[in-house]
Amino acid sequence: MDARQLEYFLAVVDHGSVNRAAAALYLAQPSLSQAVRALERDLGQELFHRVGRRLVLTDAGRALIAPARDVLRGLAIARSSVASVESLAVGRVEIASMPSQAVEPLSGLIRRFAEAHPGLQVTVRAAFTPPDVVEMVRTGVTELGLLGGSSLGTAKDVELTPMGRQRFVVIAPPGSPFPRTVTWRDLRGQRMIVGQVGTGMRRLVDESGVDVFDVVESEHREAILPLVLGGVGMAVLTESWAELAARAGAVVHDLEPAAYLHVALACRRGRCSPAAEAFKKLIG
């Protein structure tokens, strides 16, 4: 049984005869008759009593009318929904993002995306390291991913599109005694709040060659700024946090020598959904 057979069956019902139904469908009468008989064979039931040249619905035929209409109506809705997605009237894009990139550039991208496509939804899923983002995109958990690393490299089955870089800064508690620009030598012996192993901020601290006191290690990046503001320690974060930190009352220091996190958009190779393609165009 297929949708075409159901359409032909309903045409015969609605028009009262095979001849009139065939004319309405611009179909040869023998072809329509064969399709109806094929449907009867599939169902194992006669749908019409053939009385001379007339067709009279059987009980099985009457029972099929409502389900057949439901199927065709559902297909029409499905086609309409797909057309709406293609025109970006409805749909959803799922994005995996590391915390710093979720602050910026993701929040700005989502704002522009929502303005351009108000009917589309965005779902952001948390990932903490570049491999986490790549794996979520590769396995289809999300279509897109936003990541930052010391270098971009390559990933199997995942395309990485560079989006620029973010400079690292030092976020200090209010009243910080340091100058606007600090060096690692200035930070010797300071209490530091760091991320987990595998993150750019942790790598930078570990490779600085300077003895600092890792007072807190946190996987929750959103907890770092409150800890800094509470005087627990200082933190090395990307400049995406700078504006938020300054508004909250923290002191933002430039770090020398300059160090950067390279930001990229990850997507599966091949065709993305229309919503994901529209999001990708924002970085073009």
Going from the C-alpha of 54 to that of each of 39, 41, 75, 76, 215, the distances in angstroms are 18, 20, 30, 30, 89
Distance between CA 277 and CA 159 in Å, rounded?
13
The larger pLDDT score, comparing residue 87 to residue 110, is at 110
- Assess whether pLDDT exceeds 90 at residue 202: no
Averaged pLDDT, 180-206 = 87
Tokens of 107: 């929040």
- pLDDT confidence of residue 180: 94
pLDDT tens for each residue of 234-258: 999 999 999 999 999 999 999 999 9
Percent pLDDT > 70 in the chain is: 97
Q: Domains along the chain?
A: 3-86 (1.10.10.10), 92-162+264-281 (3.40.190.10), 165-261 (3.40.190.10)
For residue 253, which of 153, 201, 178 has the smallest C-alpha distance?
A: 178
Going from the C-alpha of 266 to that of each of 5, 89, 146, 154, 282, the distances in angstroms are 44, 24, 6, 10, 14
Render 146-172 in DSSP notation, one character per residue.
EEEES----BTTEEEEEEEEEEEEEEE
Per the rule left: phi > 0, alpha: psi between -120 and 50, beta: everything else, 222 is alpha
Average pLDDT value over all residues in the chain: 88
pLDDT tens for each residue of 38-95: 999 999 999 999 877 778 899 999 999 888 888 987 887 677 567 666 677 777 889 9
